[in-house]
């Protein structure tokens, strides 16, 4: 019997149109705009000026705190401007715009395709190198990876869990990475294991990727302590707490982090980035992005330099179909619609999905009849029908007592609601207000 989590979950159509499309290197753009806040935490501090010449891999904005991340140039050229640019949130935020000239890399970066298995540095140096490389969680959360690897005093990591689930419909970037960079991924996992001081790593992959499960299972025999586990296809299997429950049958307490139950979770993309940082001295300057949609001429997986305009990815995938009504950054369940397709690719851009008009319109709202389908669907055991009413009535302190901050914003409640209520929208609003209340208590 396949492993899975116990509470809630839904089964949206998979629509993995690009699953069999190998990763293509996207041609260099003429210009990139690199935001200085591509991660959870404090924005990086800019250390270049207009007119400066930069190389690929050069540090251009420095981490400004423990929970922050370095930003590196993804191209070579001249800094054209340092001004706010529109990002996926719809707001303008500070960014460094670089006019591309050639493709000159920092000489310290090893660009050879040779696999480097031997890990020659200790745990402390690994964490330092990962921090210097600006690596963040590439599953979409963008939490700085060195913070996760710095286990707090009094806590102990027992197992490293690698998230290869990719449970969001449409997205296939992690799937292709597992198939095409398996050995590099495995060395990356060993690097993360060494950093955490653990001897056990478990890779969780949903059963709709049998080729990745077989391939990684076969090569895992060469890497001590690494095992591969097939999981039941159920959204949101890739949530940290759901994955921990599925693989080691432990429940992370409300408001707590995975380290409370001895687990640390990293995405497969993050593990691959760790390999490149430690073994190749390469900072996080590019990532694999799925560009897909039902009517898109050529659904694809591209290796893209950070800062590349999204419209160039869509053009490379055959261009925007005439009936397009919405473009989503991320997956259809947790991603957000963008207001402008000229926004830049960031470290957290896992996919770009193009939706036709008939799939983009919200359905007419009905009345809630307390059917409890949203309760059954919630993987965190919350009561979405109650939380939406509280949010509408601005009962934010009551929402805190109902554990609204445990909501992972997976959208399962909205997906299941027969009345088409915008449950997640109101719960997100409530979470934002509750977070403000929590922060005000600390100040």
Q: How many domains does the chain have?
A: 3
The answer to the question of residue 367 being in a domain is no
Residue 301 pairs in a beta bridge with 23, 290
How far apart are the C-alpha atoms of 251 and 240, rounded to whole Å?
A: 10
The residue to which tokens 């806590």 are assigned: 155
- Angstrom distances, CA of residue 242 to CA of 136, 229, 335: 20, 14, 19
**Do 238 and 212 fall within a single domain?**
yes
**Do 199 and 113 fall within a single domain?**
yes
The answer to the question of residue 86 being in a domain is yes
The answer to the question of residue 411 being in a domain is yes
The answer to the question of residue 278 being in a domain is yes
**Do 131 and 85 fall within a single domain?**
no
DSSP one-letter code for 407? -
Where among 48, 83, 101 does a domain terminate?
Answer: 101
**Do 193 and 303 fall within a single domain?**
yes
Where among 336, 361, 386 does a domain terminate?
Answer: 361
**Do 198 and 66 fall within a single domain?**
no
Write the CATH number for 202: 3.40.50.11540
Nearest-10 crossing angle of helices 182-196, 268-280: 80
Write the CATH number for 66: 2.40.50.100
Residue 229 pairs in a beta bridge with 204
Question: What six digits make up the tokens of 30?
Answer: 């003429």
**Do 46 and 36 fall within a single domain?**
yes
The answer to the question of residue 252 being in a domain is yes
pLDDT of 255 reads 87
**Do 5 and 110 fall within a single domain?**
yes
Its domain, for residue 392, covers 373-441
**Do 122 and 14 fall within a single domain?**
yes
- Angstrom distances, CA of residue 219 to CA of 215, 216, 229: 6, 5, 14
**Do 289 and 161 fall within a single domain?**
yes
The answer to the question of residue 366 being in a domain is no
pLDDT of 304 reads 98
**Do 250 and 396 fall within a single domain?**
no
The answer to the question of residue 322 being in a domain is yes
**Helix ranges, 91-150 (H):** 123-132, 145-149
The answer to the question of residue 368 being in a domain is no
- The segments of the chain whose pLDDT lies below 70 read none
pLDDT of 442 reads 81
How far apart are the C-alpha atoms of 1 and 403, rounded to whole Å?
A: 32
Where among 75, 101, 127 does a domain terminate?
Answer: 101
Report the binding-site residues for [4Fe-4S] cluster.
368, 371, 374, 378, 407, 410, 413, 417
**Do 234 and 341 fall within a single domain?**
yes
What pTM was computed for the model?
0.96
Report the binding-site residues.
368, 371, 374, 378, 407, 410, 413, 417
**Do 89 and 122 fall within a single domain?**
no
């Amino acid at each position: 019997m396949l492993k899975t989590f116990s509470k809630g979950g839904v089964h949206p159509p998979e629509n993995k149109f690009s699953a069999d499309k190998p990763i293509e290197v996207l041609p260099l753009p003429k210009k990139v705009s690199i935001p200085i806040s591509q991660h959870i935490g404090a924005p990086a501090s800019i250390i270049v000026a207009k007119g400066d010449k930069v190389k690929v891999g050069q540090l251009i904005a420095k981490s400004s705190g423990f929970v922050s991340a370095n930003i590196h140039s993804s191209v070579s050229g001249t800094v054209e401007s340092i001004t706010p640019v529109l990002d996926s949130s719809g707001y303008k935020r500070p960014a460094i715009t670089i006019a591309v000239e050639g493709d000159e890399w920092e000489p310290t970066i090893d660009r050879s395709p040779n696999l480097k298995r031997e890990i020659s540095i200790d745990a402390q140096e690994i964490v330092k190198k990962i921090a210097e490389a600006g690596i963040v969680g590439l599953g979409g959360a963008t939490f700085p990876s060195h913070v996760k690897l710095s286990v707090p005093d009094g806590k102990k990591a027992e197992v490293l869990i690698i998230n290869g689930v990719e449970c969001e419909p449409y997205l296939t970037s992690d799937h292709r990475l597992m198939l095409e960079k398996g050995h590099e991924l495995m060395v990356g996992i060993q690097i993360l294991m060494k950093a955490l001081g653990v001897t056990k790593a478990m890779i969780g992959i949903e059963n709709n990727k049998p080729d990745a499960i077989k391939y990684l299972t076969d090569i895992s025999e060469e890497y001590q302590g690494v095992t591969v586990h097939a999981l039941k296809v159920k959204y949101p299997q890739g949530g940290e707490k759901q994955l921990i429950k599925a693989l080691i049958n432990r429940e992370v307490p409300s408001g707590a982090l995975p380290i409370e139950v001895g687990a640390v979770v990293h995405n497969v993309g993050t593990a691959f980035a760790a390999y490149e940082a430690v073994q190749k001295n390469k900072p996080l300057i590019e990532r694999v992005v799925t560009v897909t949609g039902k009517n898109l001429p050529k659904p694809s997986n591209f290796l893209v330099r950070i800062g590349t305009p999204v419209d160039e990815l869509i053009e490379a995938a055959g261009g925007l179909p005439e009936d397009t009504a919405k473009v989503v950054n991320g997956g259809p369940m947790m991603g957000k619609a963008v207001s402008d397709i000229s926004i830049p690719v960031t470290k957290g851009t896992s996919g770009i999905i193009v939706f036709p008009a008939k799939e983009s319109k919200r359905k007419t709202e009905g009345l809630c009849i307390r059917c409890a389908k949203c309760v059954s669907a919630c993987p965190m055991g919350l009561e979405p029908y109650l939380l939406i009413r509280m949010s509408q009535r601005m009962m934010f302190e009551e929402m805190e007592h109902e554990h609204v901050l445990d909501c992972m914003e997976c959208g399962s409640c909205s997906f299941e609601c027969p009345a088409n209520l915008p449950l997640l929208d109101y719960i997100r609003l409530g979470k934002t207000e509750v977070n403000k209340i929590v922060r005000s208590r600390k100040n």
